[in-house]
Amino acid sequence: MEFSGFFVLLFHVSLCLSVLSVQCRLYDYSIYMHHRELSQISIPPSPAPQPATFSEPAAVFSVLSYGAVGDGFTDDTQAFKIAWDAACQIESAIFLVPKHYSFMIQSTIFTGPCKNGLIFQIEGSLMAPDGPDSWPKTFSKRQWLVFYRINGMLMQGGGLIDGRGENWWNLPCKPHKGINGTTLSGPCDSPVAIRFFMSSNLTVQGLKIKNSPQFHFRFDSCHAVHIDSLYIKSPSGSPNTDGIHIENTNDVKIYNSIISNGDDCVSIGAGSYNVDIRNIKCGPSHGISIGSLGIRNSRACVSNITVTDSVIKHSDNGVRIKTWQGGFGAVSKVTFENIHMDTVRNPIIIDQYYCNTKSCTNQTSAVYISDITYTNIKGTYDVRSPPMHLGCSDAVPCTNITLSEVELLPASGQKILDPFCWNAYGVLMTVTIPPVFCLLEGFPESLPTNDIDQC
């Protein structure tokens, strides 16, 4: 259905009303009579010169009205750009990707700021170009759809976003994808499917997204982000396909979502705080992670993160904090609570020796980890690794790790593996299964306070 002509008229009407000239209103009143759809608009009392306070129906900007074809092959990028520019300038606009169509679009930056109340409604399918060979040489290979400097947008709909990542995952520079299972060196950029950058007050809900070449969603330098009811799916062997990655972003809610992929369901990078994650079904995947932080001696500050009421299944990790050696900064005030583990390799893990090459050397600084609480973490672990691994830095111990109601049983067999701790200080509030004897009591006598950067 084509809405745009009708809504251009509607926009004219509302402009006209705001001008509040009597003729204008009389003229438009005759239009009202012919458009029953408009009948919910109340006419402002005449002749009071006040701003109109009635609620306007939204203007819909369907990409079809701007020349998009939606056959899954035609490059519809230009139509999307023009429709965006039009929608962005109108208050309460709906940018519509209509149902029953499939739009192939190239890497695009949707730039704001836009007028208030913008809705990006995805009812049909959005498709990325099919792999690196179809990616224009001059375009960044790091991102597909970017939303930049947007303040206040709702992205939603029953449609599907398809990143068509397979040929990216199989590039010879990806882990073990070179000849005879080698990994070729060199740049290996692959696009993030949906990236929000320097934006705020965003809601993303109800969407399905699959097969991103790299992260599915990435939020960097954003504020006030609410994510709800997403369905994210990629194969378990797809490299770096994190579900939702946030970085330098604060006041984030991630609720009610189902994620399975080849990397972390949710990953939280440097500069993130006030993050609330709830009711996530995660796996197969690499779990929910804070990190990796402190790469190449960088400073990272992450605090006030909660992950609650979630299920993690068939994953390499459950809830993880990972840092490189040699970093600075701190991770503090993190709560993992009411999490069910089903056949997870490292249900509870702190790894301050994270290294994805063979050439990491021991260093004398680290991101300081403190005030980490694990409450009611129950279920089963994959017996290839111990259910708890608290591997803290030699240089800077972890402090105030609290465990309560942790009960983890082997997923198969009777083999109980002892928890592993290294330089980890904390308290057991209840008896745990398996019992933890390796946690150090109290606080370290010589916390190198001068070297610790509390953020």
Give the footprint of ligand NAG on residues 309-338 (CB under 6 A): 333
Per rule CB under 6 A, is residue 152 in the interface with ligand NAG?
yes
Per rule CB under 6 A, is residue 449 in the interface with ligand NAG?
no
Per rule CB under 6 A, is residue 228 in the interface with ligand NAG?
no
CB atoms within 10 A of CB 373: 17
Per rule CB under 6 A, is residue 91 in the interface with ligand NAG?
no
* Total of residues contacting ligand NAG (CB under 6 A): 18
The residues near 20 (Cβ < 8 Å, ≥ 6 apart) are 44, 47, 49, 52
Per rule CB under 6 A, is residue 57 in the interface with ligand NAG?
no
Nearest to 418 by CA among 372, 454, 385: 385
Per rule CB under 6 A, is residue 178 in the interface with ligand NAG?
no
Q: For ligand NAG, which is the closer residue by CB, 249 or 260?
A: 249
Q: Which of 371, 393, 395, 424 lies at the binding interface for ligand NAG (CB under 6 A)?
A: 371
Q: For ligand NAG, which is the closer residue by CB, 175 or 235?
A: 175
Task: Give the shortest CB-201-to-ligand NAG separation in angstroms.
Answer: 4
Task: Give the shortest CB-200-to-ligand NAG separation in angstroms.
Answer: 7
Task: Give the shortest CB-217-to-ligand NAG separation in angstroms.
Answer: 18
Per rule CB under 6 A, is residue 375 in the interface with ligand NAG?
no
- Residue nearest to ligand NAG as judged by C-beta position: 152
Give the footprint of ligand NAG on residues 380-419 (CB under 6 A): 394, 400, 402
d(CA 347, CA 10): 56
Per rule CB under 6 A, is residue 72 in the interface with ligand NAG?
no
Cβ proximity of 155 and 118 under 8 Å: no
Q: For ligand NAG, which is the closer residue by CB, 154 or 383?
A: 154
Per rule CB under 6 A, is residue 179 in the interface with ligand NAG?
yes
Catalytic: 286?
A: yes
Q: Which of 245, 286, 340, 389 is catalytic?
A: 286
Q: Which of 74, 77, 298, 304 lies at the binding interface for ligand NAG (CB under 6 A)?
A: 304
Task: Give the shortest CB-381-to-ligand NAG separation in angstroms.
Answer: 24
Rounded alpha-carbon distances, angstroms, from residue 42 to 16, 32, 52, 58, 168? 14, 10, 9, 15, 54
The catalytic residues are 286
Question: What residues make contact with ligand NAG under the rule CB under 6 A?
Answer: 116-117, 152, 154, 179-180, 201, 274, 276, 304, 333, 361-362, 371, 373, 394, 400, 402
